Structure 1
């Protein structure tokens, strides 16, 4: 299969060199692809993930591909507001600033709604919304010092359109879109841009595992996507580069959908 151009990235985006970039959920998937993309631009990348083993492997892979990369790995759960505060204090001690927040940590929650346990509902909201807010607040408290900064919150196309058996996931991701718009309006006078990125079905390790186990039908998903394929983590990372860069300096409060045309497709 021919890989998209962004899987062999050559595009360079302005204004990212030397920026301190905090990426949550950086241990794998889209978060890891974002970390690599920003390291490619000579940004200083802070990888934050709840899984210590995955995090260590991610930082090792990053430094192997970009030996000169300046990176920091912090193991913390975004659902723990005190741990998030400590993590950002660690970033302060090393770099003294935060320029870009890539709020990528999140979980899926696919369950028939009549069977959805209250604990499952709370977990989806806690990780996908509460944790994201804690990181937004900590990052912005530092960005106001320099009157500049970019927050990019990973939502989902299911924050724009709905699907059955995903009530908790859709609700949490729709809230991420609304929160991003609210913060964009509030923080624009302070020099902070806030946007949401809304991926469609992306070929992450998690999705590949679900396909292998028969929990997802990749052919069916591709057939409903006008581009007739799933996306790659690198394609979402390229969109993140644009939104965080000076090329998007007048873009804030926007929900940027990258789904191969899924949400535009009303034809079954």
Structure 2
């Protein structure tokens, strides 16, 4: 059997991608962390397309301003604001949630996107690097969920959607801190879903596979990962699109998923099914 030639970065020959429409998202207030780039930015565009009101959060002020300008150009009249903060700082997270509430009156949807990569042999991983990965990729997700969840409980409900990873459901050499943090996000999602259902708060996660973002470009440029090799190991023979992850987020945040909570939705082109 002939192995198909990998599609390294583009998508020629890929199955058609079509967006869906979720009218109930219009007017919802969305706090979107990590909105300055990658999947977080794609989610900002997707929710703006549906008429949501957006508070964009990122540690990178310039990236935030760029995302905001893109939304204002693409969606005239969009209600959007920005707040610069590190999600690893629980007090900064609380201030960001308070700013969102002050600006829009409530928080209906939290998109817990902000995160970092950490690819390094475990024998070389420093305590500072371990703490940084856990502080941002796990503790920061909890800080945001708790601060937003308190407001959602008092207002009668809401939706929390965290971006985990295929490495939260599997494991890999040289990714100890990242895998541990993302597995924690999946567990956190299930625990909060069970606990907060009584408050009408749905809590889910998406687990992207390898997705073509600026972060991926940087990792490939530094030789940390091999894009063509990753495509060859993916049954669908390509990287994912940020827009495809955003589409999954739209569904899980919408009323169409009203009975779904505690779920980790995988969007990986078949990577986990293949067994890697």
TM class by shorter-chain length? over 0.9
Matched residues in 1 for 2:139 and 2:203: separation? Answer: 17
Matched residues in 1 for 2:20 and 2:87: separation? Answer: 31
Matched residues in 2 for 1:84 and 1:38: separation? Answer: 21
Give the C-alpha shift of residue 78 in structure 1. 0.4
Q: 1:52 aligns with which of 61, 73, 76?
A: 61
Q: Find out whether 1:13 has 2:14 as its counterpart.
A: no
Q: 2:179 aligns with which of 157, 170, 188?
A: 170
Give the C-alpha shift of residue 209 in structure 1. 2.5
Q: Secondary structure at the match of 2:248?
A: helix
1:189 is matched with which residue? 198
8 Å contact from structure 1 (residues 184, 192) kept in 2:
yes
Aligned positions, number: 265
Matched residues in 1 for 2:151 and 2:231: separation? Answer: 42
Q: Secondary structure at the match of 2:24?
A: coil
Structure 1 unaligned regions, length at least 5: none
What is the aligned-residue RMSD (CA, Å)?
1.2
Q: Find out whether 1:206 has 2:215 as its counterpart.
A: yes
Matched residues in 2 for 1:245 and 1:2: separation? Answer: 30
8 Å contact from structure 2 (residues 39, 242) kept in 1:
yes
5 Å-filtered alignment, 1:49-128, equals 49-128=58-137
8 Å contact from structure 1 (residues 14, 246) kept in 2:
no
Matched residues in 1 for 2:182 and 2:196: separation? Answer: 21
2:4 is matched with which residue? none
TM-score by length of 2: 0.93
TM-score by length of 1: 0.96
Q: Secondary structure at the match of 1:113?
A: coil
Structure 2 unaligned regions, length at least 5: 1-11
Matched residues in 2 for 1:207 and 1:38: separation? Answer: 23
1:22 is matched with which residue? 31
